[in-house]
Amino acid sequence: KGLEYVVEALPEVIKRFPSFVYIYFGATHPVVLREEGESYRNEIIEKIYRLGLFDHVKLYNRFFPLGELLRFLRATDIYISPGLEPNQAVSGTLSYALGIGRPVISTSFANARELITDDVGILVNFRDPQSYTDAILRLLEDEGLRSQMGKNAYFKTRRMIWLNVAVQYSKVFSELVPRQARITERKSLPKIKLDHLVRLTDNFGIIQFAKLNRPDVKSGYTLDDNARALVASASYYRKLGRSVTNPVTIKQKRVLLQLVNTYLDFIQFVSQTDGLFWNYVRYDHKLDRARNEKADLEDASSRALYALAVVSATGALPRKVREKAMELLQSKIEGKAAFSSPRALARWSKALCVLFENKVAVSGLNVEQAIEEQNNRLISLYEGTSSPDWQWFESSITYSNPIMPEALLLGYRAVGHNEYLKVGKTTLDFLIKECFVEGIYIPVGQDGWYHKEGKRNNNDQQPQEVSAMVCALKTCYEVTKDHRYLDLMHCAFNWFLGDNSLNQVVYDGTTGGCYDGVGRKAINLNQGAESTLSYLLARVAF
């Protein structure tokens, strides 16, 4: 086992760190116990007493179930693996230690050489107590190094968790399956889980960023996120229906209603008098004037108007909530809210379509005419930019791209102009051609836009782009009744479940959160508001 060499390394460590404790857990192997008894363990105990280490070394002579083993590992600062067999191919506990984010010290047996790089741990010499002493002291004396190694270990082992291993096996199997079969594959949809949404939300609004799954309170709040959160909460509330008998549903609706009111209050807080809204609010609940004055507020303001329209049109919500949303929306219309950017035009058009289709009256506004105005401007953008090989509204594909085709399709459903259907379907088909590769949805990455006559970038794929595609494909299916779009909707959603360029799950079913993006080599494991809400909006669409 090599335990004696670790024990011999400890006197010098304890001189520097008197509170150091080394825990060795595990029962003697039954075969060894039968043939040799506890002779090795007794030798270790004798050495511990001889070196005066009784208070610093603890031996647990029993079998540990996995859950208890993991609790021990989480309680440690460093994991030490002192194996003596150079050809040892597997160490489950070493993998678990790396997987929960602990820096490791290990002899250089085969499996350790595969797993341990300089950024996650330290390899030591076999049967060399001084090598252990040096490694332990190095990590104990440098808290920053110890912490960073632990984080690196956690991040680098995400590909090893069972969900991602299953996805990798599935990919191998799918290579033997025809492409069309992969497109029409429908994975089981995860149950909607609100835990992380609630965790990110305080009594003022939803916090912008997270460090892993913990809210980063200092990051403050944005209208962008609170508008998304309002749409997600109201949409799920509507999806749950009017049930008053199911206790689980009643509890969820109570939570959702509280969230809706929180996000609605936030939108009211950032409202301006000129028809627009501020976007950035500091963690102390004060407007971030510097950032707001530099920002283009059209995106955030159009998201807010869409959210207010959704709430106003959600009949399942209490009347007071709907009236409050409508009053705020009405004030923006009277303030002559107007937009110039394509995405803001599209969101405002979507908001108007929601009002029109749900027969929500708006004082002083001809909703049908307003829909036509926004969509005609989108058509003009398309006509001014498109070519036979570039069927798009702009000279580059950037972010939230599917929202523009979706707005035209919704406009067609509302007012019936065939040109909206034609251009909406043409541009969505163009995005589909560019972004679905052999049955996998690969959205344009945010690390550099995809310019006309240029090369597309796949790095830094964002959940918001996937969410927008899921919603646009749903709308296209509802408008055209073409099942191809329904199949593609499921295919796009599968990006969250591991069908992506890294073959790793992006949705965290344990927390209910969503990771912040798919990079070139790794997942961004922070679970911020935008990503989590993008997942929820996509999931609620089914």
Query: How big, in percent rounded to 5, are the helix, strand and coil portions of the chain?
Result: 55, 10, 35
The confidence score (pLDDT) of residue 28 equals: 82
Q: Which amino acid is at 408?
A: L
279-296 pLDDT, tens digit per residue, is 999 999 999 999 999 999
The fraction of the chain above a pLDDT of 90, given in percent, is 84
3-160 CATH, one of 3.40.50.2000, 2.60.40.4070, 3.30.160.340, 3.40.190.10? 3.40.50.2000
| Local confidence band at 148 (pLDDT 50, 70, 90 cut-offs) | very high
Q: Which residues on adjacent β-strands are paired with residue 207?
A: 221
Assign 181 a pLDDT band (cuts: 50, 70, 90): low
Looking at residue 170, its pLDDT comes to 75
Whether the CA torsion 145, 146, 151, 157 is positive or negative: it is: positive
| Distance in angstroms between the alpha carbons of the first and the last residue of the chain | 54
Q: How far apart are CA 281 and CA 301, in angstroms?
A: 14
CA distances from 126 to 2, 132, 177, 226, 339 (A): 8, 9, 48, 56, 69
Is 70 exceeded by the pLDDT of residue 412? yes
| pLDDT score at 243 | 62
What confidence tens digit (pLDDT) does each residue in 163-179 have? 888 877 877 776 776 65
Which pLDDT does position 325 carry in this prediction?
98
Question: Which residue blocks in 342-399 are alpha helix, DSSP H?
Answer: 342-357, 367-385
| Euclidean distance between CA atoms 167 and 215, whole angstroms | 29
**What does the angle CA 441 – CA 207 – CA 333 come to, to the nearest 5 degrees?**
80
Answer yes or no: are the C-beta atoms of 300 and 279 closer than 8 Å: yes
Residue 185: pLDDT band (50, 70, 90) is low
The torsion region of residue 481 among left (phi > 0), alpha (psi -120 to 50) and beta comes to left
Asked if residue 184 has pLDDT above 70, the reply is no
Distance CA 116, CA 83 (A): 14
pLDDT band, residue 183 (cuts 50/70/90)? low
Q: What angle do CA 334, 339, 344 make, to 5 degrees?
A: 115
For 21-66, strand residue ranges (E) read 22-25, 57-60
Compute φ and ψ for 370, nearest 5 degrees.
-65, -40
Predicted pLDDT at 245: 72
- Give the Å distances, CA to CA, from 495 to 308, 379, 435, 442, 534: 29, 30, 12, 8, 12
Rounded-to-integer distance, Cα 93 and Cα 72, Å:
11
pLDDT at 272 (0 to 100): 93
Nearest to 282 by CA among 199, 196, 213, 216: 216
Domain boundaries, the chain: 3-160
Q: Is the pLDDT of residue 259 over 80?
A: yes
Q: pTM (2 decimals)? A: 0.83
User: What does the pLDDT average to over 437-459?
Assistant: 91
* The pLDDT value given to residue 179: 56
Give, to the nearest 10 degrees, the angle between helix 367-385 and helix 418-435.
50
Could you report the per-residue pLDDT of 415-445, keeping only the tens digit for each? Answer: 999 999 999 999 999 999 999 998 899 999 9
Query: Binning pLDDT at 50, 70 and 90, where does residue 29 land?
Result: confident
CA distance 269 to 222: 11
Give the CA count within 13 Å in the CB-facing half-sphere of 404: 29
Asked whether 284 and 328 are in contact (CB, 8 A), the reply is no
Q: Which amino acid is at 301?
A: S
pLDDT of residue 182: 57
H/E segment holding residue 513: strand 513-514
pLDDT band for position 61 (50/70/90)? confident
Read off the pLDDT of each residue in 371-393 and give the average, rounded to a whole number: 98
- Tell whether the model's pLDDT for residue 242 goes beyond 70: no
At residue 106, the 3 state secondary structure works out as: strand
In degrees rounded to 5, what are phi and psi of residue 394? -135, 170
pLDDT band at 342 (very low <50, low <70, confident <90, very high): very high
Residue 110 has pLDDT above 60, yes or no: yes
Here the tokens at position 18 are 């008197």
CA–CA separation, 293 vs 514, rounded Å? 30
Query: What integer pLDDT is reported at residue 405 of this predicted model?
Result: 99
pLDDT for residue 244 is more than 70: no
User: How far apart, in Å, are the Cα atoms of 211 and each of 111, 118, 161, 521, 525?
Assistant: 31, 24, 20, 20, 8
Average pLDDT for 255-262: 98
Q: How far apart are CA 145 and CA 185, in angstroms?
A: 45
Name 289's Cβ contacts closer than 8 Å, sequence gap at least 6. none
CB 311 within 8 A of CB 234: yes
Identify which of 243, 205, 211 has the alpha carbon closest to the alpha carbon of residue 224.
Answer: 205
Angle at which helices 483-493 and 463-480 cross, to 10°:
160
The tokens describing 246, both together, are 């199911």
Q: What is the mean pLDDT of residues 480-490?
A: 97
Strands 440-441 and 513-514: unpaired
pLDDT reading at 369 higher than 80: yes
- Candidates 466, 462, 468, 428; CA nearest to 445 is 462
Distance from the Cα of residue 23 to its chain's centroid: 36
HEC secondary structure over 406-460: HHHHHHHHHHCCHHHHHHHHHHHHHHHHHHEECCEECCCCCCCCEECCCCCCCCC
